[in-house]
Amino acid sequence: MSMSRFPRLRQISASSRSFTTSARSNTSLSALARPVAEKISAEWKGTSMTGGTTKNFIGGQFVESKADKWLEVHDPSTQTVLSSVPQTTSEEFDQAVDAASHAFKSWSKTSVLTRQRFVLELQHLLRKNADAIAGSIVLEQGKTLADAHGDLLRGLQVVETAIAATSTLLGDKLEVSKDMDTYVRKVPLGVCASIAPFNFPAMIPLWTIPMAAVTGNTLICKPSERDPGAAMMIAELCRQAGLPDGVLNIVHGQVPTVNAICDHPAIRAISFVGGDRAGKHIFNRGTQNGKRVQSNMGAKNHAILMPDANKNLALNSIVGAAFGAAGQRCMATSVAILVGEAQNWLPELVERAKKLKVSGGFEPGADLGPVISPHSKERITGLIASAEQDGGKIALDGRGLVVPEYPDGNFIGPTIIEAGTSMRCYQEEIFGPALVVLKAENLDDAIEIINNNRYGNGAAIFTQSGATGRKFEVDVNVGQIGINIPIPVPLPMFAWSGNKGSVLGDIGFYGKSGINFYTQNKTTTSLWRAEDAVGNRATTAMPTHH
């Protein structure tokens, strides 16, 4: 989500907005996509998939923005305009923060049991409406339908874990002296903010909404302007689940909205997931303004294939982890290191990648869909081309892929590049369906490659040797490790733990870290002397501690 990749703002009048875009979308969406888009537009208040507008959500109400600048949301498979998203005005942003500040006064004092009941009801409503939310993700983001359901499910798991707040919010208490107690309570921060990327339009908002709400905070959420529909639908479900007005507010836009979040004095904490440039900007600007910030940024995740690995498991795992979601995952396997005799597996890796079906997300059997935008496609193909310029070899080239049913889609086929660590295609995050393949003579050399990379989100190894797996676990310097697991993202009873250049901030997402991010400790020491109880006799002895 680097700032250089934001779509351009455009001026649009209210009178032309619905007519021109709805006319285009009714004729351009595929036969599979059109009924889904029409159903979402008819049944959900905050979003449109047929050329209308995306609303702000302020104080519990979906509000039409008065913005004079709007951004178009396109279906990546057809370029159909699905919706127009406002650059939320400064007045509207202030209204959202005011609503959150007002709601915090009462929500922070609501019992943890009441907040837990909201999360319980939200998880029920998310499951009930999973098909609709997944449909919006396919339309706006381009994922396959199965992958869109996975996007929602991983967020839903955070919701379900947040239900345990009655245990995870327990404090500490100790009688430090006779009749003197010291106890620590976890109390909410206040108004918090969440800035979400385009690649997980449901999961990332659900990393923050339940954690912020169950701990007693209120939240300003800015979904990606490329695919805000899922977040708007989640907001509607939060309202149905009984979340009071103002606890959750949703605003939209690009740099002006991001800067407003970083600068507003009422906002106490910011959670961000996205690219390096935006992540560093938000962390630096937010922390300079005294805010707590967690920033998860770029990645270059490696997988080592040892000669003793289960070959079928290893190759299938790499293909799925490299090309699923068109490679647009911060935990995608983007580098495979073939060790020793495993270097002979490259032709079979290429053959398996060739068999993947690339098509629109609603198409039966589709393995991966388009990338998010024409600009992303251009950037990805440019990085692939740089490999040839730098002396690499393209073993499988997906740049010329044509999907006849979707001639205007942002499609790139699975691509495999034989490269070296000095090449641009290795040094930069491609964020597309391109796998860089490196070769190493032994495990030590492979681990050294990973440790020398500036990123540290995750790494994996495929081996049938427990000793090899143990050495890898101990010696590799990344935050999340997979042994015979290609995408080692921890479930939310644990916490996200990327490191090195992938992260700024020292408190992770969800799990125990999530509780700590959204709370601060309040420590009280009290003295209630038993001898002062009403009815006791007075004493003249010198008081002492025992």
Give the tens place of pLDDT for each residue, 220-238.
999 999 999 999 999 999 9
Which residue bears the tokens 């740099």?
Answer: 255
Closest CA to 219 of 241, 188, 197, 240: 188
**Residue 354's pLDDT is what?**
98
Does 330 qualify as catalytic in the annotation? Answer: yes
Q: In what order do the strands lie in the sheet with 415-418?
A: 393-396, 415-418, 434-440, 333-339, 301-305, 458-462, 480-483
Q: How far apart are CA 463 and CA 134, in angstroms?
A: 35
Which residue bears the tokens 């008065």?
Answer: 66
Q: How far apart are CA 532 and CA 543, in angstroms?
A: 12
Average pLDDT over residues 96-104: 98
Q: What share of the chain is helix, strand, coil (3-state, %, to 5)?
A: 40, 20, 40
Q: How far apart are CA 241 and CA 282, in angstroms?
A: 31
Using 50, 70 and 90 to split pLDDT, how confident is the model at 534?
A: confident
The per-residue DSSP string of 528-541 comes to: --GGGSTTPPP--S
Q: Give the strand pairing for 10-11 and 69-74.
A: antiparallel
% of the chain surpassing 70 pLDDT: 93
**List of E strands, 386-539:** 393-396, 415-418, 434-440, 455-456, 458-462, 480-483, 499-500, 503-504, 519-527
Catalytic residue among 221, 238, 262, 330: 330
Q: How far apart are CA 191 and CA 350, in angstroms?
A: 49
Closest CA to 260 of 87, 509, 67: 87
**Residue 545's pLDDT is what?**
58
Half-sphere exposure of 65 (CA within 13 A, CB side): 31
Classify residue 484 as left (phi > 0), alpha (psi -120 to 50) or beta. Answer: left
Q: How far apart are CA 238 and CA 130, in angstroms?
A: 14
Q: How far apart are CA 421 and CA 453, in angstroms?
A: 9
Report pLDDT digits (tens) over 265-320.
Answer: 999 999 999 999 999 999 999 999 999 999 999 999 999 999 999 999 999 999 99
**Residue 399's pLDDT is what?**
97
Helix runs in 324-442, H state only: 346-354, 374-389, 424-427
Could you tell me which residues come within 8 angstroms of residue 200 by beta carbon, excluding any fewer than 6 positions away? 151, 154, 155, 273, 329
Helix runs in 163-254, H state only: 165-168, 203-214, 229-240
**Residue 533's pLDDT is what?**
81
Confirm if 532 and 179 have CB atoms less than 8 A apart: no
Torsion sign over Cα 161, 167, 170, 173? negative
Average pLDDT over residues 483-504: 95
* C-alpha pair distances (Å), 514 with each of 379, 462, 495, 508, 518: 34, 30, 7, 6, 6
Could you tell me which residues come within 8 angstroms of residue 369 by beta carbon, excluding any fewer than 6 positions away? 76, 77, 138, 142, 143, 144, 326, 358, 359, 360, 361, 411
As separate numbers, helices (DSSP H) first and strands (DSSP E) second, the chain gives 18, 24
**Residue 542's pLDDT is what?**
75
Q: Is residue 434 predicted with pLDDT exceeding 90?
A: yes
The per-residue DSSP string of 359-380 comes to: --TTSTT-SB---S-HHHHHHH
Quote the mean pLDDT of the chain: 94
Q: Is residue 359 predicted with pLDDT exceeding 60?
A: yes
The set of long-range contacts for 317-320, using a CB threshold of 8 Å and a minimum separation of 24, is 317/460, 317/462, 317/484, 317/485, 317/486, 318/349, 318/435, 318/486, 319/349, 319/352, 319/353, 319/356, 319/414, 320/486
Q: Is residue 128 predicted with pLDDT exceeding 60?
A: yes
Average pLDDT over residues 242-248: 98
Please give the structure tokens belonging to residue 537: 């006799």
Q: Is residue 22 predicted with pLDDT exceeding 70?
A: no
Using 50, 70 and 90 to split pLDDT, how confident is the model at 546?
A: low
Biggest alpha carbon–alpha carbon distance for the chain: 96
Q: Is residue 543 predicted with pLDDT exceeding 90?
A: no
Please give the structure tokens belonging to residue 94: 């202030």
Report pLDDT digits (tens) over 435-480.
Answer: 999 999 999 999 999 999 999 999 999 999 999 999 999 999 999 9
Confirm if 346 and 318 have CB atoms less than 8 A apart: no
Please give the structure tokens belonging to residue 260: 């407003």
Q: Is residue 376 predicted with pLDDT exceeding 80?
A: yes
Which residue bears the tokens 């390096």?
Answer: 276
Please give the structure tokens belonging to residue 210: 């339940």
Q: How far apart are CA 360 and CA 78, in angstroms?
A: 9
